């Protein structure tokens, strides 16, 4: 590897994106042993970070579990409920009444405005077990691919809306 100047891709700084230490209600995991056989049956959501020269930006995305397509996303300098609310495109463009919306137990997804939005659109709320990234492995896998195939190949300079 040294002879050809090859180096392994290394992960960069770890940034915590989940704060599950809150007094908000949490919901049971509705994905256990569930088979998904069509679109809009299960959506999974999560937040990740993207390093830019001066700081980080945060990406919230919603993935349809059957099609493995991103159906909503938003990016922001702040990791808050507004970021997750901004990723709502899927709610406005798809008929998903009865769909399971699965996320981690983060304060953004457990917040009253986010829960209210999901209920208004008739979604069932599902959350991972505390500290268990395997319950949301679908989004973790998507973010890993996104970072390896796009984000880590570039040095993003700025964040512009």
Residue 27 in any domain: the answer is no
| Confidence (pLDDT) at 71 | 95
How would you classify residue 143: left for phi > 0, otherwise alpha for psi between -120 and 50, otherwise beta?
alpha
Residue 26: inside a domain, yes or no? no
Q: What is the pLDDT along the chain (161 residues), one digit of tens a residue?
A: 888 887 766 655 545 555 556 678 889 999 988 899 999 999 999 999 888 888 889 999 999 999 999 999 999 999 899 999 999 888 888 889 999 999 988 889 999 999 999 999 999 999 988 767 677 888 989 998 998 888 877 777 777 76
Q: What global pTM score does this model have?
A: 0.82
Q: Residue 108: which of 66, 70, 59 has the closest Cα?
A: 59
155 CB-near residues (< 8 Å, 6+ apart): 53
What residues make up the domain containing 105? 42-153
The verdict on residue 52 lying in a domain is: yes
CB-based contacts of 30, cutoff 8 Å, min separation 6: 100, 102, 124, 126
CB 144 within 8 A of CB 9: no
Residue 134 within any structural domain of the chain = yes
Asked, for residue 36, whether it belongs to a domain, the answer is no
| CATH code of the domain in which 49 resides | 3.30.420.10
Q: How many separate domains does the chain show?
A: 1
């Amino acid at each position: 590897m040294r002879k050809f100047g090859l180096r392994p891709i290394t992960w960069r700084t770890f940034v915590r994106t989940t704060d599950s230490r809150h007094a908000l209600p949490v919901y049971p995991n509705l994905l256990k042993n569930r088979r998904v056989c069509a679109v809009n049956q299960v959506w999974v959501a999560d937040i990740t970070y993207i390093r830019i020269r001066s700081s980080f930006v945060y990406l919230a995305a919603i993935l349809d579990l059957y099609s493995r397509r991103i159906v909503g996303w938003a990016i922001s300098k702040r990791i808050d409920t507004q970021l997750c609310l901004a990723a709502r495109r899927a709610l406005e463009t798809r008929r998903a009444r009865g769909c399971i919306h699965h996320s981690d137990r983060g304060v953004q997804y457990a917040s009253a405005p986010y829960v209210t939005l999901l209920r208004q659109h008739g979604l069932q709320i599902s959350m991972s077990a505390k500290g268990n990234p395997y319950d949301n492995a679908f989004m973790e896998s998507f973010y890993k691919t996104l970072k390896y195939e796009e984000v880590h190949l570039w040095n993003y300079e700025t964040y512009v809306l």
